[in-house]
Every structure is written in structure tokens, then in C-alpha cells.
Amino acid sequence: MAQLVVIEFPDEATAFEMRAELAKMQKEYLIEMDDVVVVTKNEKGKVKLHQAVNLTLTGAAGGSFWGMLIGLIFLNPLLGAAVGAGAGAISGKLTDIGISDKFMKEFSEAFTPGSSALFLLFRKATQDKVLDRLESFKGKGKVLKTSLSMDDEEKLRKVIEG
């Protein structure tokens, strides 16, 4: 079962730093993430989602490949690639995987301008090793929401909030 964690930071940079650390841990097989998104709220109050994967570009690349392949069959690979890239980009733009964009935007409306948050959806984690690696973020953030057990949430709060 996937677990959700939302951590708010008073600045815009710390959430990106934590996302980079989590990505390193995923490469070391310490955590299995389904989605990790940084949400920033600028000084004017505009909320922006910074997805880890750009679905529009991924869709365009995949669409180009399939379009070119189909174009080869019909003897017009360039037209096929162009049509496929367009269709793939539209498909990627409309796809919402992992944490709901609507949920993140609505949740982030209450944030202080100039702040950021990390929205993390993960399946598995080697809890003790992950928490040890997050020690460098002690006192820098606030845990706003989790779907963890009470004990696990308390351990996370001790590491993040200090």
C-alpha cells in the first residue's frame, strides 16, 4: 500500500534538496517512490507544481517513436513522427499519475508565500536508513500530512521538525 507524506518548508530551496536526497536513496534501493513533487508558492501567491517527470516530454518522445514506426509502414515516417509527437505530447499533458495535481494545488493554497512543500508517495522504505539520511533536514520543515501509522509519523516528525 502506498504512503503519502507532505512536508512544508519556509523557503523554496529545501524541498528540492530533499527531493534530490530521496532520489539518491531510490537509486540505492532504500525507498521505492511512486511520485515525488515539489510545490512552490511564490511571493505573489502563485502555486507551481514541479513534477519529477515531465509527462509532456515523455509523451512526445514515445509518440514520436510510435508515429515514426507507423509512418514507416505507410511510407511517410516524418509525417508519422510529427503526428505521433503531437498526440503523445497531448496525452502526456493530460495524464495525471501518482498524487493528484488538484489535491496538491488545493492543499498548497494555505501555504505562506515564498514557501515550498514536498509531496511524497512511496510504497516501501528501509525506515531506519531513510530517517538517518534525512537527519540533515532536522528543524528545517514541518510534517503537515501523512498516511503513516502514528508511531511512524512520530518518528518522521522527530527527524524533520527536531
79 and 110 inside one domain = no
12 and 38 inside one domain = yes
Q: Which domain holds residue 48?
A: 3-52+100-161
Number of domains in the chain: 2
Average pLDDT, the chain: 80
25 and 87 inside one domain = no
Report the Cα 54 to chain-centroid distance in Å.
10
Torsion of CA 74, 75, 77, 78, to 10 degrees: -110
Q: Which three cell numbers stand for residue 80?
A: 508519422
69 and 29 inside one domain = no
Residue pLDDT, tens place only, 60-79: 455 555 555 455 555 555 55
Strand partners, 36: 120
Note the pLDDT of residue 34. 87
Q: State pTM to two decimals.
A: 0.72
44 and 114 inside one domain = yes
144 sits in which H/E element: strand 142-146
